[in-house]
Structures are given as structure tokens and as C-alpha cells.
A and B are shown apart, each in its own frame.
Chain A
Amino acid sequence: MILQGLKIALESLWANKMRTFLSMLGIVIGVGAVIAIVSVGTGSTRQVTTRIADLGSNMITVYSRSSRGQAGRASTSSQEEFTLELGDYMEEFCPSVRKVIPTKQIAGTLISDDVNVSATTIGTISDYAQVNNYEVARGVFLGQDDVTDRRQVIVLGAQLATDLFENRNPIGQKVKMNYNGRIYAFQVIGIMEEKGGSMAGNLDEQAYIPLSVAMDRLTNHNYVDSLIAQAYSSEKASNAVKELEYFMITFLDDPDKENFRIISQDEILDTVSSVTATMSLMLGGIAAISLLVGGIGIMNIMLVSVTERTREIGIRKALGAKNRNILFQFLMESLSLSSVGGMIGISFGWGIAYSLSKVGDWPLVIPTISVVLAFGFALFIGIFFGLYPAMKAAKLNPVDALRYE
């Protein structure tokens, strides 16, 4: 009976090709939109998350946090706690932490011949590059001797090197830094590889100098801005976060975590994922509404179809069709409409997702769940919105239906 109903349904859909196509369109667009949107959402998220993961998923940064009302300045007391010794203690007391890299940010202007570029210069130690999974393209990164001997050497980000020296080879050249009204001279020893943008800004526009120079010569501070802790592995990262948090709370006697902030790559990933997930959910919801509208379109067409074919229903009943035969016939019709529409919608959505992934240069990801959900929802809509017209058809009185003009 199911097969029979399906055959009759397909016959009558085929007989009204244009109408069939138009009533399917709502479902096609709805399913296509759901699939395309979810695919774009997942694809672009994956693109961003791979970039972040490239930066090292076992990195945890501990910042000293500015207190409120001091114009961005950290309250001196807690800021001063961020000493090199603090880093040593972290290594000692947090078993999941392998290495702690202190960094001090210097906001100064870099000058080469006539070009002035204001850049973020980071004072750090030689392990910084290796821990961050970051390599030099030319020359060398800061060496241990550079730090211990307070040599005034500098390593430039790729973009920064181009800005300062254009096409000339910067290695061995002098760069001056204007910091707090004083001029310091640095020798360029290395150029970093290109890394592109990140959550922390464009790495290619940063420069690196020995931490000792930044602390003792430039600022004369005996504290740093942040301590980058490297966990033994990405699996140990969440343990490391807990250990560091406990350590910092105890060390600073700061149970409310007011004077420090710990950011892990996981946390950044979570933020990115949740933002894009919310976006996808919202857009997917809009697409689902269009599916619903498509369903109402199907119901509309089916109701017209029932009225228009009242006589046919009468004839079928006179020839022995039971109510459930008629119910099935019309239900199958709306179900065929929505399922064929759903299938066209899937390929349509795939096409859009494919072209957008080419344009946006992210991987083409079509989650099975989105296909299953969109198609399932389409089928559900076919049944739900087909049921009322089908029941109406099935309940027609044969005499009245036969007399209908």
C-alpha cells in the first residue's frame, strides 16, 4: 500500500511539474541554506582554530592585571610581583609546567635611516621562539649570551623588516629605538618567518630584544608584563592552568584573581568556537524558519490540490479506495515534495558551501549532522503540513466528492 500510494503520488506530482517545482522551492532553499550556513560556520571556525592551534596549544599566559581607575596601569604593588623569580617559582611549583618565558613589552618607535615605525617590541629570552613554535627566516633569534651580556641586538618581524628596510638586507644593520625620549641603538641579527595575524595582534609587526636590555637599560624595572608558561603537552595544559591559578592565588594572596589573569589557548579556542557556534545557530535558526515557511507553502499547495481534485477523490472512493488509501496518497505527495526538495536542497547547499569555501579559503566541511537534521526536518515538515490536507481529503464524503464540479 505504501508503494502504491507513492506511485500514485508521483504520478500526480509529475502531471503538475511547474506547481510541484514551485512548492518544492521553499524546502530546497530552506535545506540548502541550513547546510550552506552550517558548513560555512564549521569551515571558517576550523580555519581559525587551526591557526590558533598553530601558535601552540600548550601555551598559557599569565598577565599582571591592571587595577581599575589607574588609566591602564597595573597597581604597582601587584605588578612588581611579576619578577623573574616568580617565573622560576612557577616552574618549581607547577608540575605540569615545563618552562616559563618572561616577556616585557616596550612601546617605542623604531628608526632606520629616515623611516620611523612605531612597533611593539618584546623583551624576552632565547627560548621564546622555540616555545612559541616560531622560527627565524633569516639570521638568528636572540641567543642566551645576548640576554646575559645585555647586548643591544634586535630580531624583526617579517612585515616590520620590510617596513624599515624595504628590499635591503637588514641583517647587520642598525636600528634606533626611541623610548621615553631616549635613543637606543640596536643591531639587527634576525628576521622572523611570516606568521600573519593572531588574537594578540599581528606578529609580523613585532620586534624582539633581550629581556635584560628591556628591563635594565630601557625601563629599569625589575618586573615583567607577562609570563608565558609552556605545559609539557597540550593534554597537560588544563592541569597547568589549574596549578598556575592555585599558585598565583596563593602567591599573591589574591583569592578573587583581581591582579592577574591567566589565558590559555584552549580558552581562546573556546571563545572563538562559542562565538562562531552562536552565529551558526542564529543563521541556522533563520534557515530553519525558511524551512518552516516552505512547509506552509507545501500545505497551501496540498490544500489547493485536495480541493481541485475533490472529484478525483470521489472517483477513487467509488472504485473502492479506503479512507487510508486516500490519506496515504496525499501524505505521500507532500512527503515526496519535501523529500525530493530536501535532496535538491542538499546538493544546492553543498554547491554554495563549496564555492564559499573556495572564496574564503577554508576547508569544505559539511557536518553529517546538519545534512541529517535538515533532511529530517524537511521530511517532518512534509508529514506535518501534509497531514491536515490529507486528512481532509480522506474524510470527504464520496457522494459530495463525486458531485463536486
Chain B
Amino acid sequence: MSKVMQIEKMSKTYHLGKVKVEALRGVSFEINEGEFVSIMGPSGSGKSTLMHIIGCLDYATGGKYFLADQDVNNLNDNQLALFRNKKIGFVFQQFNLLPRVTNLRNVELPLVYAGIPVRDRKKIAIKALQDVGLGDRIGHRPNEISGGQKQRVAIARALVNHPSIILADEPTGNLDSKTGLDIMNIIKKLHEEGNTIILVTHEPEVARYAKRIIHLKDGLIDKDEVVA
């Protein structure tokens, strides 16, 4: 199996005034295509920082990060934007949908920034919404649908550009347990269809959906275990 990403001795240090905060202190691992990996850890363990760096939203201050054989640390703002657009599909805890535009428009957005022509992207976006079971909610706005439906819109949005990695940050954190179960089943199905998934969570029950769990503690990998 081919490598999707690789992290080598990654560190991240924040300077909050005169205080130095070491969020990551040398983390190394690699993820192969089609893997389903959970990153677990208590708050303050550095998992959010790690997720932001994997998602090309932030720079590491040390170490190397290869995504699709590119050294991400060497990319400029525009190239990072391109990577976020093409390589990463985000699913956030707070859904992060644009509230004032329709679900269709929300799902279209990555295609807009990818420069896909209007007619094609409408077709692709509608298909993606149908795939998550929201074919009848295309014209609704996010505030007109339930939390579970919002997260499904977000998943549809994450998928439209066929990213290398789907990065899910506490995707069930704002949902009740039954809806959370639905969402996790969708993510599981995506994995079965061959997508590479990185799931960031602090809930062991959620983390157990993955085949591999990376435990973070105090900015270091505590345990990297294969489960099930």
C-alpha cells in the first residue's frame, strides 16, 4: 500500500507573550492509503494542533510533513490553499457550514475554489448530497435542518473534491448519541469504499471505529496501536 502522508519529528511551539508552549514535541508516523486512523488524547495533548498541521491550516515549527510526496513546510499560502482544496476534506465538530447560503451552495464551495465550471459543480454537489441521503434538502439552509443533517452536508462537502485524506475533528461531538452513531456509520462506509480517514477524538467509543489508534499525550505519541 502506498503512503498518503508522513510526519517526521514534528514539533510546534507557540509563543504566548513570554511563555513558550510546546504543543508537539517530535511526533513521527505515517499513514497509508485506505487507512482509518484515530488520533486520541485528552485536551492539551496536542491533537488539535496536529490536526491543524495535517489539514494544512497551520505550519509546524520543526520536523517534516509530507503530503502526496510534497514537503508541506515548503509550501506558500497559495499552495497550502490548493492542498486544502484538493487533498483534504474537513469534517468539523461545529459543522462549519455557511449559515446564509443553501446546502447545495455549501457543498459547491470547494468546487468553486477548485475552478470547476458552474454546470459540472452543480451536478457533482447534488450527487454528493444524494449520497449522504439529503437529496431532498438541497435548497434548504443549514439553520433549517437538524444537527445530524448538518454534519451530513459537511461530509458531502468534504467528499466533493475527492481528497486524499478525510480529516474528521470530533465529528460526533455536537450530536446526540443516536445521530452520532449514524454519522460514524457513514464514516465507516466511506472507509470501506477506500477513503483514507483520520479521526480526531477524545471518546474511546468513537475512536474504536478505526483500525488504528494513535494516542497522544503531552505532545508526544504515547501509543500507536492497531485494533480490531
Interface, chain A (partner B; CB < 8 A)? 4, 11-12, 15, 311-312, 314-325, 397-399, 402
Return chain B residues, CB-CB under 8 Å to A318.
55, 57, 84, 90, 96
User: Which of B86, B92, B97, B100 is the one whose CB lies under 8 Å from A320?
Assistant: B86
B112 touches A323 (CB 8 A): no
B100:A321 contact, CB within 8 angstroms: no
B57 touches A323 (CB 8 A): no
**Residue in A4, A15, A314, A402 whose CB lies within 8 Å of B100:** A15
Q: How far is the CA of A4 from the CA of B121 in the complex (A)?
A: 13
* A-contacting 9-mer, from B26-34, B65-73, B75-83, B173-181: B75-83
> B96 to A11, Cβ gap below 8 A?
no
Residues of chain A lying within 8 A (CB to CB) of residue B103:
none
Q: Are A320 and B57 in contact (CB under 8 A)?
A: no
Question: Chain B contacts of A15 at CB under 8 A?
Answer: 100
From A311, A316, A323, contact of B109 by CB (8 A): A316
A319-B110, A319-B157, A399-B52 known; A11 vs B84 contact (CB < 8 Å) = no
B144 contacts partner chain A, Cβ-Cβ < 8 Å? no
Nearest neighbor of A405 in chain B, beta-carbon distance: B94
A11 touches which one: B55, B86, B101, B114 (CB < 8 A)?
Answer: B101
Q: How many interface residues does chain B have, given as a range?
A: 20 to 34
Q: From A320, which residue of chain B is reached at the shortest CB distance?
A: B85
Return the chain B residue nearest A1 by Cβ.
B115
Min CB–CB distance A1 → chain B (angstroms):
8
CB interface residues, B 121-163, toward A, < 8 Å: 157, 161
- Decide if B85 touches A319 in the complex (CB within 8 Å): yes
Query: Chain A residues near B58 (CB, 8 Å)?
Result: 397-399
- When distances are taken between beta carbons in the complex, the residues of chain B under 8 Å from A323 are 77-78, 81
Q: Which residue of B lies closest to A324 (CB)?
A: B78
Residues of A with C-beta under 8 A to B78: 322-324
A303 to B211, CA, bound (A): 47
Q: Which residues of A contact B55 (CB under 8 A)?
A: 318
Query: What residues of A have a CB within 8 angstroms of the CB of B100 in the complex?
Result: 11-12, 15
Residues in B neighbouring A316, C-beta threshold 8 A:
98, 109, 113
Q: What are 23 pairs between A and B in contact, CB < 8 Å?
A: A312-B98, A315-B96, A315-B97, A316-B98, A316-B109, A318-B55, A318-B57, A318-B90, A319-B90, A319-B110, A320-B81, A320-B110, A320-B113, A320-B114, A320-B161, A322-B78, A322-B81, A322-B82, A323-B81, A324-B78, A325-B81, A398-B58, A402-B57
CA A404 to CA B157, docked complex, whole Å? 21
Query: B57 to A399, Cβ gap below 8 A?
Result: yes
Q: Which residues 164-182 of B sit at the A interface, judged by CB distance below 8 A?
A: none
